[in-house]
Structure formats: C-alpha cells, structure tokens
C-alpha cells in the first residue's frame, strides 16, 4: 500500500517537473516564435474512485490516478460578457485514466472544451469552478458474451463531462499551484445499452503557467439591466430547432439494435439581463423505441399516438457565440410514457452564421439519461 503511494507520488513529481520544464522552454522562445495572448498551460494529477451507484458495480471498487492537460486563454474583458462573468478562462483539456487497470472496463480518454469561472480572484489567490463537456473513449464496453460484467457502458465512444473546483495560489505572476476536487462522468446518453455510466470522484494537485506575462484586465463597465425590464420586441428571442438521435433500450441489450428519435423544439425567451433569458418552450417528440415497447406489451397504436407534445419552462445563458440552456417540461400526451411525463433538457448552442446555430441536447428524467440529440436551428432577434 505505502509502496504504491510512494511510486505514484514519484510519478506525479516526474510528470510535474517535465511539465514545468516544457513550459519554461516554450516561454523562453515566446518572444521569437510564439505569439500567444494570455495563453496558459495547466497540468493536473489526481487520485479517484468509481462511484458505485448500482449494486453490481461494487465488484469494481478501486482507487486510481487521473491525469489532465489543459490549454487556457484567460479573458481580459475585451468582450462585455467576459467582464460580466468575472473574466473566466476558456480552452481545451485532455484527460486520461487507467480506471484501476481492470480488464472489464479498460482505460478512458477524453477531450473537451471547458470554461473556468473565477468565484474569487485576487492578485495571488483564486477560487475557480470549471465545467467541460466533450467526447470520451472507453477501451472496453459491455458484451453479453465476452464482457457481461461491464454494466457501465455499452459503447466505446461516449460523452464526457468534467466538473471541478480548485484553489490556486500564484507563486509568481506566471506560475500558479492548485489543489482541487473533481467529478468526471462518461455516458452515451442511451445510444447503446447498458448506460449506467462511469462516475468518478477525484482530488489532486496541479500547476499552471502563463506562456507570456499575463495581460491586464479591462475594468468592468458598470451597467444596469433597466433596458431589459421592458416588454419591447428587441428584448425577445425565438429559437426553432430540429434534432435527431439514436437510442437503445434495455429490452434489446447486447443485440446491437438502435432506433431514431426525432425532436422539434421551439423556445420563446425574454432577456432579464444581457446574458440571461427566461421563457417558455414547446416540444414535439417522435420516439421509435416507443413503438417497440408497445409491440412487446401487445398494445395497438397509430403514428399520431406515438407523438409526445410537451411544454416546458426555459432558461438560457449566453457567453458570446455560445449558449447553454436548461428546460423543465411536461409531456401533454403520448401512448408510451414509461419514463414519465416530466422531463428535463440540458443543451448547448453554437452560432454558425447570423441566426443559424448548431445544438446538442440531453433529455433526462430526473437524472436518468433518455437520449442525446444533435441538430440545427435558427434564432430570431
């Protein structure tokens, strides 16, 4: 046990030393060949464990290291949303873990864009909250013959979500050290069963380094939100989107079957601040898995009865060309409602051109993932 801790500690020290050496070499050349504005490199090493949220997962209880390499651009307030969000940093992260070197699960890799919010920031001390979502790859997946013990994941490619909170101390104006706690989740959104997901809790230390001397922040402009209190048309936004997804169901687990889900959604939103909007949304869902479930139960149906119209309360927050939405809804009708009438949506939208945007949406029922949809939409105003 102690020998293992010492070995892992030495491994972390070697990796951290290599990280600092590389960043020092980069900074030495920054005046000659590298032109970077407020660019920061960060390395984190942590130790974690799988959260066993199903009884059969207790077989996989173990502790293991996790490594993360991140590239940030620390905002200076050049755009209004940056100063209003207390100068967050944005960037990409690469994550790796051996998940205890268990052959049934294998290893996990992830790459994801992220945004780090400064909850407290002084010259030396920082408290940050980070959120990232991207793509993950797990080397081993469920197979009903060759790997039946892996009830976590039914696919190699998954969504990866990473959340962390850290305290950082800036040793110099370019070098900072941190301690953090984090949560990492791998899931395929029910595109393949099983989809219990891999939930990892972890804690560790890190180091971050500015390639060049950081740029000073632009002072915040004091503004109020009186202009958004009126009900003028310029304070309203209307979003329309069409999404499609693949979905698997546990009744056909391990057989490689999947079905399409089609979703049309409309949101009418009103600004309450420059960045935040509240409103009402409407959904129309056609889920082909509902037909299979009704057939298994011997229930007759028509295509119209498969449709699930819904109404929801909607919230959206924007960071420049990127927006995030949360919807809490209720299905008004539908022949097959075994997941329940109440649903939630978590999504992201990226502006492409003028009012056109791409979107990805996760539909859940009180935390249980139903499906992930991707699509395209159009925004008015």
Q: What is the domain-level CATH number for residue 233?
A: 2.40.160.20
Q: In the prediction, which pLDDT does 377 show?
A: 96
Q: What is the pLDDT of residues 112-161, one digit of tens each?
A: 999 999 887 677 899 999 999 899 999 988 877 888 777 777 888 988 99
Domain finish residue from 160, 181, 210 = 210
Q: Are residues 205 and 290 in the same domain?
A: no
Q: What is the mean pLDDT of the segment spanning 38-46?
A: 94
Q: Are residues 299 and 366 in the same domain?
A: yes
Q: Are residues 181 and 247 in the same domain?
A: no
Q: In the prediction, which pLDDT does 304 show?
A: 92
Q: In the prediction, which pLDDT does 3 show?
A: 38
Tell whether the model's pLDDT for residue 17 goes beyond 70.
no
Q: Are residues 45 and 189 in the same domain?
A: yes
Q: In the prediction, which pLDDT does 251 show?
A: 63
Q: In the prediction, which pLDDT does 68 show?
A: 97
> Does any domain span residue 198?
yes
> Confidence class of residue 252 from pLDDT cuts 50, 70 and 90?
low
Q: What is the pLDDT of residues 154-205, one digit of tens each?
A: 888 988 999 999 999 999 999 999 999 999 999 887 777 777 788 899 999 9
Q: What is the pLDDT of residues 263-320, one digit of tens each?
A: 999 999 999 988 899 999 999 999 998 988 898 888 888 989 999 999 999 999 998 8
Q: Are residues 154 and 12 in the same domain?
A: yes
Of 20-24, 102-106, 188-192, 208-212, the range with the highest mean pLDDT is 208-212
> Does any domain span residue 47?
yes
> Does any domain span residue 219?
no
Tell whether the model's pLDDT for residue 2 goes beyond 50.
no
> Does any domain span residue 8?
yes
Residue 70 forms beta bridges with which residues? 42, 93
> Does any domain span residue 189?
yes
> Does any domain span residue 220?
no
Domain finish residue from 148, 177, 210 = 210
Q: What is the pLDDT of residues 227-239, one digit of tens each?
A: 787 888 889 999 9
> Does any domain span residue 310?
yes
Number of independent structural domains in the chain: 2
Q: What CA–CA distances, in Å, run from 82 to 100, 117, 294? A: 39, 10, 50
Q: Are residues 275 and 161 in the same domain?
A: no
Q: Are residues 165 and 139 in the same domain?
A: yes
> Does any domain span residue 221?
no
Q: Are residues 138 and 175 in the same domain?
A: yes
Q: Are residues 143 and 21 in the same domain?
A: yes
Q: Which residue has the higher pLDDT, 225 or 185?
A: 185
Domain finish residue from 210, 234, 252 = 210
Tell whether the model's pLDDT for residue 207 goes beyond 70.
yes
Q: Are residues 157 and 71 in the same domain?
A: yes
Q: Which residue has the higher pLDDT, 309 or 37?
A: 309
Q: What is the pLDDT of residues 338-376, one digit of tens each?
A: 888 999 998 999 999 889 999 999 898 887 778 889 999
Structural domain for 371, as ranges: 226-380
Residue written as token pair 């996790």: 66
> Confidence class of residue 206 from pLDDT cuts 50, 70 and 90?
very high
Tell whether the model's pLDDT for residue 65 goes beyond 80.
yes
Q: Are residues 26 and 94 in the same domain?
A: yes
Tell whether the model's pLDDT for residue 381 goes beyond 90.
no
> Confidence class of residue 223 from pLDDT cuts 50, 70 and 90?
low
Q: Are residues 108 and 252 in the same domain?
A: no
């Amino acid at each position: 046990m102690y020998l293992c801790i010492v070995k892992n500690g030495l491994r972390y020290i070697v990796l951290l030393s290599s990280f600092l050496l590389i960043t020092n070499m980069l900074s030495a050349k920054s005046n000659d060949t590298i032109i970077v504005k407020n660019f920061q490199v960060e390395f984190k090493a942590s130790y974690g464990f799988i959260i066993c949220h199903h009884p059969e997962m207790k077989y996989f209880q173990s502790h293991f290291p996790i490594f993360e390499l991140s590239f940030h651009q620390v905002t200076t307030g050049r755009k209004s949303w940056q100063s209003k969000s207390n100068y967050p940093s944005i960037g990409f992260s690469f994550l790796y873990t051996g998940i205890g070197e268990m052959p049934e699960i294998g290893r996990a890799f992830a790459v994801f864009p992220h945004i780090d919010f400064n909850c407290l920031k002084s010259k030396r001390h920082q408290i940050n909250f980070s959120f990232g979502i991207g793509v993950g790859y797990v080397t081993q997946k469920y197979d009903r013959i060759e790997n039946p013990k892996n009830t976590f994941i039914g696919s190699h490619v998954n969504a990866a979500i990473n959340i962390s909170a850290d305290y950082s101390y800036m040793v110099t104006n370019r070098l900072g050290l941190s301690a953090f706690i984090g949560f990492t989740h791998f899931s395929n959104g029910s595109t393949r069963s099983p989809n219990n997901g891999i939930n990892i809790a972890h804690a560790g230390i890190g180091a971050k380094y500015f390639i060049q001397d950081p740029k000073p922040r632009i002072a915040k402009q004091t503004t109020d939100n009186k202009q958004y209190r009126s009900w003028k048309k310029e304070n309203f936004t209307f979003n329309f989107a069409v999404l499609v997804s693949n979905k698997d169901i546990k009744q056909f687990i391990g057989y490689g079957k999947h079905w399409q889900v089609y979703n049309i959604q409309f949101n009418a939103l009103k600004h309450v601040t420059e960045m935040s909007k509240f409103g009402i949304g409407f959904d129309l869902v056609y889920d082909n898995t509902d037909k299979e479930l009704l057939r298994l139960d011997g229930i007759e149906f028509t295509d119209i009865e498969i449709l699930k119209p819904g109404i929801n309360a909607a919230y959206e927050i924007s960071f420049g060309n990127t927006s995030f939405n949360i919807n809490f809804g209720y299905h008004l009708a539908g022949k097959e409602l075994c997941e329940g009438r109440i649903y939630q949506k978590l999504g992201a939208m990226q502006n492409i051109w003028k009012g056109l945007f791409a979107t990805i949406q996760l539909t859940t029922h009180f935390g249980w993932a139903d499906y992930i949809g991707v699509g395209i939409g159009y925004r008015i105003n």
